[in-house]
Amino acid sequence: MCPPQPDQGLPPPLAAVPVPWKSTDPCQGHRESPGPLVETSAGEEAQGQEGPAATQLDVLRLRSSSMEIREKGSEFLKEELHRAQKELKLKDEECERLSKVREQLEQELEELTASLFEEAHKMVREANMKQAASEKQLKEAGGKIDMLQAEVTALKTLVITSTPASPNRELHPQLLSPTKAGPRKGHFRHKSTSSTLCPAVCPAVGHTLTPDREGKEVDTILFAEFQAWREAPTLDKTCPFLERVHREDVGPCLDFTMQELSTLVRAAVEDNTLTIEPVASQTLPAVKVAEVECSSTNTCALSGLTRTCRHRIRLGDSESHYYISPSSRARITAVCNFFTYIRYIQQGLVRQDAEPMFWEIMRLRKEMSLAKLGFFPQEA
């Protein structure tokens, strides 16, 4: 078969082989070019087969181009899908890492918040404990101050009742010592009075009665009442112990002729607001009580009797003074000594067993009884 001769200015026509193109695979048809076409003579085949062969060739070309485009598009889409999957995987990993970072930050934030709250609660708890301790110390200090003030007031009362003319033996025990037992220069003491009353008035400093001269026996009723009061010391007159003392000793001892002033004196003694002062030499203001002239030092404001008054009393913060006789002063002093001692017990200043405290109270009651009966130390 001779090769075709090209026409002038036109490509040589191709002769179509009908059967091989139908059985050939599209990919093979695309990848392999068809073999050399058998061409007839330009004059014979060009006339009868030029139109259908060109059309069939164009269709095959379109099919091969479409399949090629489809394959390339499929490959491109697969590559894009693979690339997108890789990006999604990277983003998932990044999201997972960020999630872990967020969880770690949240955990640290929770721990920090918990530690801050714990620290705040600890500080508040410590502040409350310090405040409670401070309040306790303040309360204890207030109690100590009240105790010291009461002690100072009691000591002041004892000091005021001790004068050069009539010294208080509890504050001046050296006056009872053998070397200093004699009367001082310029002072005179009645021998019978001092020798008779000294054991009764001054047993606290060693002058107690000997067993062969006076015996002692505890009254069970009185001791039971005292023990019940000692469990919870109080100054309330309704308790059996103090009610008995007020009825049997305090009331009769402070029951003077001038009832109005006696009531005021008793209230002042119970409230610890009574002051006893020695009479000064200067002229004092005149004060009348129950129509009895009290400006003179020769009239007792409580008994109304004519006596030499060497002391005067003042009730509370009043500026008025009332002159009292030695007997009245002894009765008031005896009651004041009793109240001072029970106040010491109430404030916890007396560190003794129940029986010594009971006998000291009985001694003070004995002083009140003796003073009520008119026995008192003779003043120099």
pLDDT at 286: 42
Which candidate, 337, 118, 175, places its Cα nearest to that of 249? Answer: 337
Q: What's the pLDDT score for residue 45?
A: 52
Tens digits of residue pLDDT in 46-98 = 545 566 777 888 888 888 888 888 888 888 899 999 999 999 999 999 999 99
d(CA 143, CA 148): 9
119, HSE (Cβ side, Cα atoms, 13 Å):
6
Give the pLDDT score at 317. Answer: 85
Burial label for 300, CB within 10 Å (0-12, 13-18, 19+), is: buried
Tell me the β-bridge partners of 10: 7
Residues 6+ apart with CB under 8 A from 338: 245, 249, 250, 361, 364, 365, 367, 368
Domain ranges of the chain: 57-162, 220-280+295-373
Instruction: Check pLDDT > 50 for residue 284.
Output: no
| pTM to 2 decimal places | 0.45
Please tell me the distance from the alpha carbon of residue 28 to that of residue 18, in angstroms, as a whole number. 16
Cα gap 313→37, rounded to integer Å: 161
Assigned token pair, 22: 């139908």
How confident is residue 215, by pLDDT bands cut at 50, 70 and 90? confident
311's enclosing H/E stretch is: strand 311-315
pLDDT at position 168, please?
53
Number of other residues whose CB lies within 10 A of the CB of residue 338: 22
* 31 close to 38: Cβ distance less than 8 angstroms: no
> What are the angstrom distances between the C-alpha of 80 and each of 63, 85, 87, 287?
25, 8, 10, 125
pLDDT of residue 323 exceeding 50: yes
The pLDDT assigned to 259 comes to: 92
The whole-number pLDDT of residue 97 equals 92
**Predicted pLDDT at 169:** 55
Kindly indicate the confidence band of residue 200, based on its pLDDT and cuts at 50, 70 and 90. very low
Q: In this model, does residue 39 exceed pLDDT 80?
A: no
Contact call for residues 328 and 256 (beta carbons, < 8 A): yes
| Paired tokens of 280 | 């000064």
